[in-house]
Structure 1
Amino acid sequence: MRLKYQDFLQRTSFSKDELLAYSWGDLIEDPPIEGCGLLPSPPMLMFDRITEISHKGKRGRIVAEQDISLDDWFFQCHFRQDPVQPGCLGVDAVWQLIGFYAIIRGGKGAGRALGAGAIEFFGQIRPHNKIVRYEIDIKRFSNMAAQDAAIAIGSAKVFVDDQEIYTINDAKAGIFKNIQYRDYPHQSAQSLGGQLT
């Protein structure tokens, strides 16, 4: 099922199939710009469904779930004889979700992680766990049309099987126009990194 852009902006949840279609640029039939802030594709897409999106003014909330499988790719290499999901992937999931929130609020462009405040890990995700839940309270969303950018800042709690295991404060993600590198692997204006302008 494909969505009109205006219908996409009104959604409060997304299934796995919809998130996969979005990551491939095939969910919105009339995107405002090409690419429209794509999510990473698997295996880097770090959640299987979004169960809640809400907003009021500059604040909001986004909640997602990730199904854990015994054969998830990261358990095969991190670490041999001691499999655990890397904590950095949980942080990346939060950045992915904050970026997606900025798109749902009308940001147009490509998403980038911009940083985080304090991050604390006091638990772990193992192969026989079942569900990871990411709960993010958006503290501020700004759509800066004059700068061709949108930024969202939120703090997250991460749970595994309903036990809180991480906190991530003041995670920041931005949406920027004219930075996508669509012609990879060819050299072009966007083939080198550096400061976002």
Structure 2
Amino acid sequence: MTQQSKGLDAVANTAAEQQEWQMTAEDEQLLLDKSVSLPMGYEQLKRYLPHRYPFMLVDRVTACGSNSWITGYKNVTINEPFFQGHFPQEPIMPGVLIVEAMAQLSGILAFINEGVTAEEGYLFLFAGVDKARFRAPVVPGDQLVLKSKLLLQKRELYKFDCKAYVDDKLAASAQLMIMRQDRTGKA
């Protein structure tokens, strides 16, 4: 692979990829049937994510399609607590937190698919991370655009292919597995 083709692989906005992440009327109807409205901001996210500041790492869900993909973003600011130590003179968002942001977005899709929320006593926990790659630093002022595609669902286990972009360039990618945990006491 040439250096030029490597650079092209890191660019997010190819025509085919843009089309792949576009919502259809059918997608919108599926969300309406589940009482989900987009864009999803902080108050709505609190229903799906048990995380709170400083560990809620998704600021907005922007699109969701056919129960199989979801997009959102995290605005990265200098006020993030982790920047105090990572690294004070050259702040960089820790890669593990980028992976966590992708996992949180994936969890929202799993909640939507199952028609349940964290408020109702359900939780999705990490079950595994594969193929994690970090390609560019994420720094204060960046908007981390998150994309997650469902690869597999078997009962309570979900597997996703996730990507994080800054300025249309791939910053990180990973395959993540999460598993639903029922804390409601229902059988």
Q: Same fold (TM over 0.5)?
A: yes
Q: Does 1:120 align with 2:130?
A: no
Per-residue deviation, 1:159: 0.4
- 1:47: Cα distance to partner? 1.2
**What one-letter code is carried by the residue in structure 2 that aligns with 1:159?**
Y
Residues 13-55 of structure 1: CA deviation (Å, up to 9, x unaligned): 3122322x426xxxxxxxxxxxxxx431111111100011112
**Native 8 Å contact 2:50 2:123 kept in 1:** no
| d(CA) in 2 for partners of 1:97, 1:124 | 20
Deviation at 1:68, TM superposition (A): 1.8
Moved segments of 4+, more than 3 Å: none
Amino acid at match of 2:180: I
Q: Among residues 169, 178, 182, which one is paired with 1:173 in the alignment?
A: 178
Q: Label 1:106 to 1:74 Cα distance change in 2 as closer, same or farther (>3 A).
A: same
- 1:152 deviates by 1.6
Q: Which residue of 2 aligns with 1:35?
A: none
Counterpart residue identity of residue 114, structure 1: A
Aligned residues: 149
Counterparts in 2 of 1:94 and 1:103: CA distance versus 1, 3 Å: same
Q: Which residue of 2 aligns with 1:51?
A: 62
What is the identity, as a one-letter code, of the residue corresponding to 1:175? Answer: R
TM superposition score normalised by structure 1: 0.67
Name the SS for the 2:65 alignment partner.
Answer: strand
Match of 2:144 among 120, 132, 135: 132
Q: Aligned partners of 2:91, 2:59: CA distance in 1, in Å?
A: 21
Is 1:105 aligned to 2:113, yes or no?
Answer: yes
**Letter aligned with residue 61 of structure 1:** W
In 2, Cα distance between equivalents of 1:137 and 1:126: 25
SS at match of 1:39: coil
Structure 2 equivalent of residue 71 of structure 1: 79
Q: Normalising by the residue count of structure 2, what TM-score does the alignment of the two structures yield?
A: 0.71
CA contact (8 A) 2:102 2:163 kept: no
Q: How large is the RMSD of aligned CA atoms in angstroms?
A: 2.3
CA distance in 2, matches of 1:51, 1:93: 14
Q: Among the aligned pairs, what percent are the same residue?
A: 21
